[in-house]
Amino acid sequence: MTTLAFAILLAACMVAYALNRRAATGIRDGGQRLHSVSGYHGLFALLMILVPVLVVILFWLALQGAVVNTLIMSSLPDGTLDGLGAGQVDLILAEIQSISSGRVFGDPEPWKTAAAERFSGMLQTASLGLVLVTALLSLGIMFFARGKVSAEFRARQGVEKIVSGLMIFCSVVAIFTTIGIVASLAFETIKFLRLVPLTEFLFGTSWEPQIPIRADQIASTGAFGWIPVIVGTIVITIVAIVIAIPIGLLSAIYLNEFAPKTVRSVCKPVLEVLAGVPTVVYGFFAILVVAPAIRSLGAQLGIPVAPNTALAAGGVMGIMLVPFISSFADDALSAVPRALRDGALALGATRAETVMNVLFPAAIPGIVGGVLLAVSRAIGETMIVVMAAGLMANLTLNPLESVTTVTVQIVTLLIGDTSFDNPKTLAAFALGMMLFIVTLIINIFALRIVRKYREAYD
Amino acid sequence: MTDISSGSLLLTTTDKVRASLAKRHRKQRILQGFGIAAISIAFLMLFILLWSQIATGYKAFMQTNITLDIYVDPAEINVDRLPRGDFDDVLTAALLEKLPNVDATDRAAVREASGIFSNGAQFDLRDRIVEDPSLIGQTINMRMPVSDPYDQLYKELLDRETPEELRRLNDLQIANYDQLLDAGAITSKLNTGLITNADSRFPELAGLKGALLGSFWALLVCFLIAFPLGIGAAVYLEEFAPKNKISDFIEVNINNLAAVPSVVFGLLALSVFIGLFGLPRSVPFVGGLTLALMTMPTIIIATRAALKAVPPSIREAALGVGASKQQVVFGHVVPLAMPGILTGTIIGLAQALGETAPLLLIGMNAFITSAPGSPFDSATALPTQIFIWADSPERGFVSRTSAAILVLLTFLIMMNAIAIYLRSKFERKW
């Protein structure tokens, strides 16, 4: 049925285009001078139908499920849902839906079967309604647009206005996305903070996100202090940055100042390949190669190393960040005005002295910006740590031990079926909120540094 | 004497420089050496990364098979009872024929011997007989994948020297295997199942079809949404937007969105698309929507760069002959910028193809044994399939994970190669 609605919309658009275009051509052939070319008359009709009807269809589809579900649940016999938790209500709804789609397990209660029948009936009505609304609306607009065709009608301006509107909408999507992120995170975080006080979340030193299965369970509360999680994140980030900065900076300096042109033109793209490798591949690389290597090295030296040590995850992440830092450093070094370089060389400085004493200090702001962006990326990086770092939150600074990170916790808390009413799920959103805030601050700061510095030399 | 002392007093600057020159040049060489070392480390890591995947992954591109002449015994399989029937007994009987040493009455020995069959073998046989019931009573020749331990044994990943109790196959099973190998029943062929099968709990049957289709649908949705939205936003911001606070704000917003951690987009998708709109979990459509939000900033930034590269003379010429602003932009500027826009889009899609974390949060890591037929069927995607297999305890999945990674990397290389080709072929220098 949905396909039918889209087909009707498409057909209506094409018919309206042809009709208006033909009408406009007729007027022109009748000897009158058109304000707009006939194609614009057709385009005007097409857009007039396409935009509003598409919006209606999409809204209908987005809301249909929720509306039907609410109607079904409210039409159940009185008292069936009394005293049930949100999870159980969801379960009943899921059962009704599966019965209506023909998958019946066991003998469901008669009221469920009845509800399932009503459910499929409503769905049918809804999709029929969608097709009807689409057809009527398209037809109506088609007549309206057809009536507009005249010699003086400014069809081009009309089309351009609609196109402008569409483009503005496109640019506003970015804002909507940001608003969506902030709102959804904030909404769930506030729910979380109702269950767990803010001070406990921010300053608690124990992270054990369990939910009690029975009320009388020992240690039933779970603990939601994010300190061990953020400390783990910091440990892994530091390991990554410590590896990425020297390798990235030195290779940028070499490529920028010393390497022959041919070497540079080969090395730069190869280095970029490192940036293009998906993080899930790095993660598997960490557990397949790096972690065992570090462990056997530790065994040879007699140092105990945890199986999922922070060193492996951080080290691999460092490799991932090398091209990131080196390309930012490369840009920053190239942006230093030629005069500074030439001046230093003319005074008799060697190339190395020019780089270290003149270019590097001048490029520092750009490089710092790049490093900050790398830090924010390391904090937000998910797959490497999900695969290679630990799950248990240990409060330790030792990179040889197993630590967990904010992103690991978000993923492990949300993997699988989740309902939105327990602190475990909500804790993931609270962690997401903190992650978003921290990375946003670093990003804004870094982008500002990079931009300001560029302006200074331009 | 005075001459000499005055000579050392009159040491010129040139002499001083000359004296320190060797040291300074050595410093330069050290810095250069460090630079070369840094690049070498990065390249070495890239090499190890790729090599480790190839070295473990290439084995999964071959699959060990067992070929048997199977007598489809009417006593075991009845036409009227199809698709039911004792297909595993038929298989075992065919196997025992090749293994005269195994006592057919010793049930434990028979069970150990028939462990060479993959769990899917009896279903393959069933499907074949259901399709053509006239096969009952005949002898058919069938090639089936062997189960994972035997596959490992063939690929020499299972060490015969390990003590028997630590091995996944006991001495008797290995003896049986050697007998079959000598009889020519065990062969190794190109593993087409890796592409044509969907996921499975059994490594020898697991394939990437579901993941490939899931990724395809998700990328298609992502492209259909992100491409028009991205171009629209970029054209507006670059060509039409008045320079004011609002357009500045939008710009800052887009730049920040490009740097938001991907897992946060997953949280957004989980709470808005699945929680609020009630869209189903694990479907490529939701995955595509999420990826579209992430890809859009990339496309916008690339499109704006491409539009900026079109020289103003083009615009002025078109305006000069009386075109409206939109006619200029859509008739001349955007077509000229198209190669750059497409390059940016392909690179954005390549990033989206490798993205994993947001897909995990919307449940595209479910265990699904059928390939999706539409964007609304539950599916996995290539990177999430890699994640699932990397998490699986069976040994056979290690090489499959690497093989899946090689497939993913191949796609990424292809997409980037297309982007580079487009750029070099159509890019104009003004």
CA separation for the pair A332, A330 (Å, rounded): 5
- Are B207 and B196 in contact by the 8 Å Cβ rule? The answer is yes
Q: How far is CA A42 from CA A37, A134, B321, in A?
A: 9, 20, 24
Q: Tell me whether residues B268 and A440 touch, CB distance under 8 A.
A: no
- Evaluate whether residue A203 is within a structural domain: no
**CATH 1.10.3720.10 residue window(s) in chain B:** 209-426
Going by pLDDT thresholds of 50, 70 and 90, the confidence category of residue B10 is low
Tell me the chain B residues in contact with residue A186 when contact means C-beta distances shorter than 8 Å.
Answer: none
Question: Positive or negative CA dihedral for B141, B142, B143, B147?
Answer: negative
The three-class DSSP label of residue B144 is strand
Tell me the chain A residues in contact with residue B225 when contact means C-beta distances shorter than 8 Å.
Answer: none
Q: In a mutagenesis test of the B interface, which of A119, A287, A382, A386 is the best target, namely the one with the most B β-carbons within 10 Å?
A: A382
Peptide linkage before A212 cis (omega within 30 of 0): no
Q: Tell me whether residues A251 and B235 touch, CB distance under 8 A.
A: no
What CATH number is given to the structural domain containing A310? 1.10.3720.10
Comparing B166 with B264, the larger pLDDT belongs to: B264
Nearest residue on chain B to A270, alpha-carbon basis = B43
CA separation for the pair A94, A88 (Å, rounded): 10
Q: What is the pLDDT of residue B1?
A: 44
CA separation for the pair A119, A83 (Å, rounded): 23
Tell me the chain B residues in contact with residue A272 when contact means C-beta distances shorter than 8 Å.
Answer: none
- Evaluate whether residue A446 is within a structural domain: yes
Q: Tell me whether residues B253 and A410 touch, CB distance under 8 A.
A: no
A272 and A157 share a domain? no
- Short-list A243, A20, A238, A242, CA closest to A148: A20
Nearest to B42 among A322, A373, A435 (CB): A322
Q: What is the pLDDT of residue B187?
A: 87
- DSSP assignment string, B341-358: HHHHHHHHHHHHHH--HH
Tell me the chain B residues in contact with residue A439 when contact means C-beta distances shorter than 8 Å.
Answer: 259-261
Tell me the chain A residues in contact with residue B230 when contact means C-beta distances shorter than 8 Å.
Answer: 170
On the 0-12 / 13-18 / 19+ scale of CB atoms within 10 A, A444 is: middle
How far is the alpha carbon of B95 from chain A, nearest alpha carbon, in Å? 37
A284 and A424 share a domain? yes
Nearest to B264 among A169, A187, A432 (CB): A432
Q: Domain B209-426: give its CATH code.
A: 1.10.3720.10
Q: How many other C-beta atoms can be found within 10 angstroms of the C-beta atom of residue B21?
A: 12
A113 and A243 share a domain? no
How far is the alpha carbon of A65 from chain B, nearest alpha carbon, in Å? 7
A32 and A152 share a domain? yes
Contacts for A113-118: CB closer than 8 Å, 24+ residues apart: A115/A72, A115/A75, A115/A76, A118/A72, A118/A75
A240 and A161 share a domain? no
Range of the domain at A271: 223-457
- Evaluate whether residue A405 is within a structural domain: yes
Percentage of chain B modeled with pLDDT above 90: 43
- Evaluate whether residue A186 is within a structural domain: no
How far is the alpha carbon of B100 from chain A, nearest alpha carbon, in Å? 42
Q: How far is CA A288 from CA A51, B55, B398, in A?
A: 51, 12, 9
ipTM score of the complex?
A: 0.89
CA separation for the pair B327, B270 (Å, rounded): 41
Q: What would the 3-class secondary structure string for A56-72 be?
A: HHHHHHHHHHHHHHHHH
Q: Tell me whether residues B52 and A65 touch, CB distance under 8 A.
A: no
- Evaluate whether residue A13 is within a structural domain: yes
Tell me the chain A residues in contact with residue B354 when contact means C-beta distances shorter than 8 Å.
Answer: 276-281
- Short-list A152, A151, A129, A158, CA closest to A51: A158
172-231 of A, contacting B, C-beta below 8 A: 172-175, 177-178, 180-181, 184-185, 187-188
* pLDDT tens, chain A, 458 aa long: 788 999 999 999 999 999 999 999 999 998 888 888 888 999 999 999 999 999 999 888 878 877 888 888 887 777 777 767 666 777 787 788 778 777 777 777 788 888 888 888 888 888 899 999 999 999 999 999 988 888 888 999 999 999 999 999 999 998 899 999 999 999 989 988 888 888 888 888 888 876 655 555 555 567 888 899 999 999 999 999 999 999 999 999 999 989 999 999 999 888 888 888 999 999 999 999 999 999 999 999 988 888 888 999 999 999 999 999 999 999 899 888 899 999 999 998 999 999 999 999 989 888 999 999 999 999 999 999 999 988 888 888 888 888 899 999 999 888 866 666 677 888 899 999 999 999 999 988 888 887 777 666 66
Nearest to B52 among A175, A283, A285 (CB): A285
Tell me the chain A residues in contact with residue B41 when contact means C-beta distances shorter than 8 Å.
Answer: 247
Q: Tell me whether residues B56 and A411 touch, CB distance under 8 A.
A: no
Q: Tell me whether residues A436 and B261 touch, CB distance under 8 A.
A: yes
Q: What is the pLDDT of residue B17?
A: 82
- Inform me whether the C-beta atom of residue A3 falls under 8 Å from chain B C-beta atoms: no
H or E segment to which residue A406 belongs:
helix A406-414
Tell me the chain A residues in contact with residue B262 when contact means C-beta distances shorter than 8 Å.
Answer: 380, 382
Range B394-402 average pLDDT: 88
H or E segment to which residue B157 belongs:
none
pLDDT, one tens digit per residue, over B363-379 is 888 888 888 888 888 89
pLDDT at position B184 over 90:
no
Domains in chain A: how many in total? 2
Tell me the chain B residues in contact with residue A293 when contact means C-beta distances shorter than 8 Å.
Answer: none
Q: Tell me whether residues A174 and B250 touch, CB distance under 8 A.
A: yes
The residues facing B62 across adjacent strands are: B190
- Inform me whether the C-beta atom of residue A58 falls under 8 Å from chain B C-beta atoms: no
Q: Tell me whether residues A185 and B264 touch, CB distance under 8 A.
A: yes
Look over chain B and give the mean of its residue pLDDT values, rounded to a whole number: 88
Nearest to A278 among B37, B297, B356 (CB): B356
- Inform me whether the C-beta atom of residue A312 falls under 8 Å from chain B C-beta atoms: no
